[in-house]
Structure 1
Amino acid sequence: MASSLETINLPHLPPLPIHVAVYRDVQNAAFLKSQLLAGQPEYEYAFIDASMVLSRAHVIAAVFRALNDYSHSRLRSHNVHSEIVFSLNPTNNIAESFRRFGITDSTKDLLVIKVSTSPEITHETVATHLGSAVEGTSTSFDDQTLFELSDITKIKKSYKLGSLASPSKAADQIASKENVEIKQRLENALLGAIALRGS
Structure 2
Amino acid sequence: MESCTVQLDEDTGKFITLYLFINVENTEEIRKKLISGELQCCVMKAGLVVDLFQVIVAANKAVVNEKFGKLTTRTIFTEILFNMSLSKNITQSLVKFGIDDKEKNIIVGIIHGSDNTEAMAKDSLAAIKGERVSIGRLKEITDTSVVKKIYKVDESELKVSSLVDCVVSKMNTKDFASY
Fold match, TM over 0.5? yes
Q: State which of 111, 124, 133 in structure 2 corresponds to 1:130.
A: 124
Distance change >3 Å, CA 12–CA 195, structure 1 → 2 = farther
Distance change >3 Å, CA 108–CA 86, structure 1 → 2 = same
Rounded to whole Å, the distance in 1 between the matches of 2:20 and 2:151 is 22
Rounded to whole Å, the distance in 2 between the matches of 1:10 and 1:124 is 18
Q: State which of 36, 39, 60 in structure 1 corresponds to 2:37.
A: 39
Q: State which of 28, 49, 52 in structure 1 corresponds to 2:48.
A: 52
Amino acid of the structure 2 residue aligned with 1:193: K
Q: State which of 46, 66, 83 in structure 2 corresponds to 1:70.
A: 66
- Kindly name which structure, 1 or 2, has the bigger radius of gyration based on alpha carbons: 1
Are 1:193 and 2:167 counterparts?
no
Secondary structure of 1:66's partner?
helix
Q: State which of 21, 24, 39 in structure 2 corresponds to 1:23.
A: 21
Rounded to whole Å, the distance in 2 between the matches of 1:55 and 1:102 is 16
How big is the shift at 1:134?
A: 0.7
Q: In the TM superposition, what whole-angstrom CA distance separates every residue of 1:107-142 from its partner, at most 9, and x where no partner exists?
A: 11110112127x9x8221133223421111112223
- How many residues end up aligned between the 2 structures? 176
Are 1:91 and 2:82 counterparts?
no
Structure 1 spans left out of the alignment, 5+ residues:
167-180
Structure 2 spans left out of the alignment, 5+ residues:
none
Moved more, 82-91 or 64-73: 64-73
Rounded to whole Å, the distance in 2 between the matches of 1:183 and 1:109 is 30
Question: Which stretches of structure 1, 4 residues or longer, exceed 6 Å deviation after superposition?
Answer: none
> RMSD value over aligned CA atoms?
2.5
Secondary structure of 2:13's partner?
coil
- The match for 2:155 is 164
Rounded to whole Å, the distance in 2 between the matches of 1:101 and 1:165 is 25
Secondary structure of 1:4's partner?
coil
The normalised TM-score by structure 2 is: 0.87
User: Identity across aligned pairs (percent)?
Assistant: 22
How big is the shift at 1:165?
A: 7.1
How big is the shift at 1:16?
A: 1.1
